[in-house]
Chain A
Amino acid sequence: MSRRILLIAAVAILAALPLTFGTFWINMVITALIFSLAVFSVNLLTGLTGLLSFGQAGFVGIGAYTLGVLAKQGHPPILAGLYGVLLAMLCGFLLGLPAARLKGHYLAIGTLGFGILVYQLLTNSVEVTRGPMGLIGIPTGGVDRQTWYLIMLSVCLAVLAALAYIDRYSALGVILKMVRHDEIAAQASGINTFAVKLIAFTVSAGLAGLSGALFAAYVRFLTPDLFNEQESFRYMMMAVVGGIGSPLGGIIASLMLTMIPEGLRMLGEDNYRLLVYGTMVLFVLWFLPSGIGGLIDRLRR
């Protein structure tokens, strides 16, 4: 009972927090929350199911550009976003068909290949995406920052709860983890591992697509460079720093890895910011091998 009260109090504090923030910081928190959806997609795919993907930014890009292009053609943004998520899921399903048969590094580089193909397609199909010139002024209704924060907070908490539910209480969670730990044993117990992996790919792609659609709607400016393989690496980094199996750690890591370097931006020189970023990642890995999620688990016990 007292835990429930604690939880409600925590959510209330989180919801009230933006009232105390300046524009700069609230902007940062919203972006970090949008990223954390993509990090969740890595948690689901790599943490829960054990499938390594370096192509998540591809799905994020598909979601973002679908919303951007369709909204500019006059479709309502919510519908366009929905199409974006669905298209990302479709691509996830199609990528899953060959990728579910790949193992380890082959899977990692194969998905990396998918991400690069999406990036190159976004860059080179100038008639649709305007390529490197960028898609500017995506019309997405006038919602102010406070509301955006509340929307993002509720979306993230909902996904967090859903992932925790799948992880702890559902049969699907047991099956996913079994596929990760011992695929052959899972097959021997009558689990169709191919289908399970396909589901994981599709749902994860949907989450990444949602992250992209929300990004496009919030930032309203897209260039292909926002979705290149470096971004996929970044999501993977955030997921590992957060503890690969822990979405809660993932959200904290994406907040931390977005806000601390951005805070340092005030010191000038972009390079120092990224130096701090790289060093932070190394330090977390050295001293917290199971990431922030591992630390939370230890504190809980």
Chain B
Amino acid sequence: MLTQILINGLVLSGSYALVAVGLTLTFGVMRMVNFAEGQSVMIGAFVAYTTVPYVGYVGAIAAAMAVNAVLGIILERTAFRPFRGVELNGLIASMGMSIILINVAELVWGTTPRPFETLYNETSINFGTVGISVQRLICVAASAAILLGLWWLVQYTSLGRKFRAVSEDHETASAMGIDVNQVSRLALVIGSMMAASAGALTGPVNMIAPDMGRTEMLNAFAAIILGGFGNVNGTILGALLIGMIQSLGAVYISNAYSTSIAFGLLVLTLIFFPRGLVPERVDENV
């Protein structure tokens, strides 16, 4: 029982963390919230679902990430670059894109939820008395690997240094010769690709449907706020917390309340810690 709760919690946490870290990365670099990130998850899941019979599961994940990289570029052009500095308009524009993406997906794949079958869904490994499907284990391992990869990218590569420089102070960064537009585009592309991997990894565990991005994104938001906006480590911590508590809640309370649990926790946290558990540094002009 405990192993099952733990693994389910980790599966949830992993996908929330992938989505939330993508959001945090874009937010850090551009100071804008990408409300279409949930739809990137959905598109990723559907692309993987469509390509899996031809290229296998690993190939499908790669295909989903490739398509979403293009989607990231489109999003940056339509919803982010025109609105730099006008935060609210950018927010609304990404909502507009999100409506467009959902409806395109409904036209292409229909509205009924579908099961996403892979080879790994059927086979399971036994831990003592409970069997855990290989798919869930892949989810956990792959999420951890991708997050680790992102951490390496942000800490040790020159692109990562650019990300950090732009999120610290984008004017100074651009004065130092960093192409802020390019860095923003890459942030969105990477965020979108992480969302795609979340969709392709958790799609087989749950059903996939054009409105699946909604709950995925809401939980990611809750994780981000718990962790503190723009803070990658805090965000991962927040995602772990929410995934685990939801997994516990699903067993001991009810599945119907899982989003309530996440947001109840969020509202409670905000009452006592108005800037999240790991507050971001904010400059205020006094």
Q: List chain A positions with a Cβ less than 8 A from chain B.
A: 46, 52, 98-99, 101-103, 105-106, 108-110, 112-114, 116-117, 120-121, 123-124, 184, 229-230, 233, 236-237, 240-241, 244, 269, 271-272, 274-275, 277-279, 281-282, 285-286, 289
Q: Contact between B96 and A278 (Cβ–Cβ < 8 Å)?
A: yes
Q: Contact between A281 and B96 (Cβ–Cβ < 8 Å)?
A: yes
> Which chain A residues border B263 with CB–CB below 8 Å?
112-113, 116-117
Complex formed: what's the CA distance from A7 to B105 in Å? 46
Q: Contact between B33 and A101 (Cβ–Cβ < 8 Å)?
A: no
| Total inter-chain residue pairs, C-beta < 8 Å | 121
A120-B259 in contact given A113-B222, A275-B103 (Cβ < 8 Å): yes
**Contact residues, B228-286 vs A (CB, 8 A):** 229, 256-257, 259-260, 263-264, 266-267, 270-271, 274-276, 282, 284-286
Contact of B89 among A105, A110, A285 (CB under 8 A): A285
List 7 tightest A-B contacts by C-beta distance, closest first. Answer: A278-B99, A281-B96, A113-B263, A278-B100, A271-B103, A120-B260, A98-B271
Q: Contact between A101 and B274 (Cβ–Cβ < 8 Å)?
A: yes
> Which chain B residues border A101 with CB–CB below 8 Å?
274
Complex formed: what's the CA distance from A237 to B94 in Å? 11
Q: Contact between A52 and B88 (Cβ–Cβ < 8 Å)?
A: yes
Whether B218 is near chain A, meaning CB under 8 Å from some CB there, is: yes
Contact of B97 among A120, A236, A244, A282 (CB under 8 A): A282
CB distance from B210 to the nearest CB of A (A): 10
CB distance from B222 to the nearest CB of A (A): 7
Complex formed: what's the CA distance from A114 to B270 in Å? 11
Q: Contact between B104 and A285 (Cβ–Cβ < 8 Å)?
A: no
Segment at the interface with A among B2-10, B51-59, B61-69, B78-86 = B78-86
Q: Can you sample 22 A-B contacts with CB below 8 Å?
A: A46-B88, A98-B271, A102-B274, A103-B274, A105-B27, A106-B225, A106-B270, A106-B274, A106-B276, A109-B222, A113-B222, A123-B256, A230-B214, A240-B92, A244-B88, A271-B106, A278-B96, A278-B100, A282-B78, A282-B96, A282-B97, A286-B82
CB distance from B78 to the nearest CB of A (A): 7
Decide if the interface of chain A is mainly helix, strand, loop or mixed: helix
Complex formed: what's the CA distance from A230 to B286 in Å? 37
Q: Which residue of A lies closest to B32 (CB)?
A: A105
Complex formed: what's the CA distance from A109 to B276 in Å? 11
Complex formed: what's the CA distance from A121 to B263 in Å? 12
> Which chain B residues border A108 with CB–CB below 8 Å?
33
Whether B73 is near chain A, meaning CB under 8 Å from some CB there, is: no
> Which chain B residues border A279 with CB–CB below 8 Å?
96, 100
Complex formed: what's the CA distance from A184 to B93 in Å? 30
Whether B221 is near chain A, meaning CB under 8 Å from some CB there, is: yes
> Which chain B residues border A236 with CB–CB below 8 Å?
92, 95
Contact of A112 among B89, B93, B221 (CB under 8 A): B221
Contact of B224 among A103, A109, A117 (CB under 8 A): A109
Complex formed: what's the CA distance from A242 to B88 in Å? 13
> Which chain B residues border A117 with CB–CB below 8 Å?
260, 263-264, 267
Total chain B interface residues with beta-carbon distance under 8 A? 47
Complex formed: what's the CA distance from A279 to B104 in Å? 12
Q: Contact between A98 and B95 (Cβ–Cβ < 8 Å)?
A: no
CB distance from B286 to the nearest CB of A (A): 6
> Which chain A residues border B97 with CB–CB below 8 Å?
278, 282
> Which chain A residues border B1 with CB–CB below 8 Å?
none
> Which chain A residues border B282 with CB–CB below 8 Å?
103
Q: Contact between A275 and B104 (Cβ–Cβ < 8 Å)?
A: yes
Q: Contact between A109 and B221 (Cβ–Cβ < 8 Å)?
A: yes
Contact of B229 among A46, A106, A233 (CB under 8 A): A106
**Contact residues, B96-152 vs A (CB, 8 A):** 96-100, 102-104, 106-107
Complex formed: what's the CA distance from A102 to B256 in Å? 29
Q: Contact between A105 and B93 (Cβ–Cβ < 8 Å)?
A: no
> Which chain A residues border B83 with CB–CB below 8 Å?
285, 289
> Which chain B residues border A114 with CB–CB below 8 Å?
267
Q: Which residue of A lies closest to B106 (CB)?
A: A271
Q: Contact between A116 and B259 (Cβ–Cβ < 8 Å)?
A: yes
A124-B256, A237-B95, A282-B96 known, 8 other contacts, Cβ within 8 Å: A46-B88, A112-B218, A112-B221, A121-B260, A237-B96, A278-B100, A282-B93, A285-B83
CB distance from B153 to the nearest CB of A (A): 24
